[in-house]
Amino acid sequence: MTAWQTVVYFATALGYVMTLWLLPVVWLTKKRSPVSTVAWIMAIVTMPCLGGVLFLLFGIERVQRRVRGRQAAFATLAQSLPQLAAQHLLPKDHLTPTQRSLLNLVERIAHTPATAGNRVQLYTETPAAFQGIQTALEAAQRSIHLEYYIWQPDRIGTKLRDLLIEKARHGVTVRFLYDSLGSMNLTKRFLRPMRDAGIQVATFVPGQTFRERWSFNLRSHRKIVVIDGEIGFTGGMNVGDEYLGQSPHFGYWRDTHARLDGPTVLQLQEVFATDWFYATGENLNGPEFFPAPRESGRVDAQVLASGPDDPESMFHTLMFGAINQAQSRLTVSTSYFVPTPPLSSALEAAAYRGVRTRVLVSGPVTYWVTYHACRSFYDELLRAGVEIYEYRRGQQHSKVLTVDGEWSLVGTPNFDARSVFLNFEVAVALYDAGLTEQLEACFDADLLDAVRIDPEQWQQRHTWERIKENGCRMFAPVL
């Protein structure tokens, strides 16, 4: 027997052993999504080695062994964090029926109530958003808390790092939490000056150990900045030069970010505090982190956070409920559009019942697999009357949902299974017609740089395109 034959026999035997070992694992861990279960079983059986490796990288959530730790962190903080009872949105008479219905839904599935007295500033141009964050950081007096999925050690990443170092040297307490996979480019050399200046640096727990570092699931996709417990930022933007439109591949970068002032900032602080406690064991519950909130505006807002340790899959339920609540118009802006079957059906049902349903997705500059998987959903949506637009000016990275010009959701979750089931995400719900209409106006402006998918022309596309789309759709449960 030649050496090559030995390798082939060994690989074949390994493939069968891996198949027999992994099939029970799939059956035990993929109860929530039968479609995902079938897809992984087919991949493992038809591609014994490759399918098994892909499942180990993308399929195993490993969430069960972390649930108790996450819940313990939340329970510990919940007992010591200050209550915002005075700012809770108790009278609801001023809300429209749509707003009131969605508020009732969110209050049942989220841990945070809506608060009154907030001011929200929306950023739709990334340079202005970075400038707003930088200005707020420069004015920090006591504490700066940051949590990011991606932080690049490039020009803007280094500039903000050096600003944090300067603030730390002037007595401001700085904590920096990053995801080890999304920010894999951050080196010890880049982080050393931060630590030397007294900045506390930690990685989000998923991916912290060697055994978990290669897992692509359970990432912190959150983007959070909280300054002095009084000013907060969240939205779609990470930190990197590409978000300023300086990437030759992506070009112009379209994103949506929000600055928060008022009681709901403390809800954003609570999300960070929970993640920080889980990652480091440090309990951030003092008045220096949770100062008495002050009324800053007239916006009713609510910070929402969800992750794979959330049994209700809050963002999935919220998106489904919001779409079904729409009566006249609905917009969805997302960088990655790979909807779960319930979300896809909800969009179709909305269009069928006469709701003008418009979806804006990234164009071909986005990732190849995601782009073609996204397009595999067009047939059913177009048939139902959903208007689909592909952004062509550059990268469309906003994550925004608006309903009837009265309610909106701005944050980090995309319209895909990864965001609603596998990632830790954060967003802010806005019970405000003015801000929602502003987001709708931005959506209309984005359509000037987008191409609408024509249903008749779409049916005439080449068979090879259909093959690519349906092939990529097989990976929908993990995209």
Tokens read off for 341: 């079957």
Query: Residue 389: which residues within 8 A CB-CB, separation 6 or more?
Result: 358, 359, 360, 361, 446, 447, 450, 451, 452, 453
State the Cα–Cα distance between residues 230 and 291, nearest whole angstrom. Answer: 8
Does 223 qualify as catalytic in the annotation? yes
Query: Residue 24: which residues within 8 A CB-CB, separation 6 or more?
Result: none
The secondary element (H helix, E strand) that includes residue 68 is helix 64-80
Q: Which of 261, 300, 309, 404 is catalytic?
A: 404
Does 228 qualify as catalytic in the annotation? yes
Q: Which of 30, 145, 316, 397 is catalytic?
A: 397
Does 196 qualify as catalytic in the annotation? no
Does 241 qualify as catalytic in the annotation? no
With DSSP H G I counted as helix, E B as strand and the rest as coil, what are the percentages for the chain, rounded to 5?
45, 20, 30
Q: Which of 145, 221, 257, 372 is catalytic?
A: 221
Q: CA dist 418 to 6, 66, 289, 477, Å?
A: 39, 18, 31, 7
Q: Which of 30, 145, 167, 223 is catalytic?
A: 223
- In this structure, the number of other CB atoms found within 10 A of the CB of residue 49 comes to 15
Does 159 qualify as catalytic in the annotation? no
User: What DSSP line would sit under 84-105, residue for residue?
Assistant: -GGGB----TTS-HHHHHHHHH
Q: Nearest to residue 136, comparing CAs of 201, 203, 224?
A: 224
- In this structure, the number of other CB atoms found within 10 A of the CB of residue 444 comes to 11
Backbone angles phi, psi at 148, to 5 degrees: -140, 145
Expressed in angstroms, the distance from the first to the final Cα of the chain is: 42
Does 188 qualify as catalytic in the annotation? no
Q: Which of 30, 167, 372, 399 is catalytic?
A: 399
Question: What single DSSP character describes residue 419?
Answer: I
Q: Which of 228, 255, 432, 446 is catalytic?
A: 228
Catalytic residue positions, numbered: 221, 223, 228, 397, 399, 404
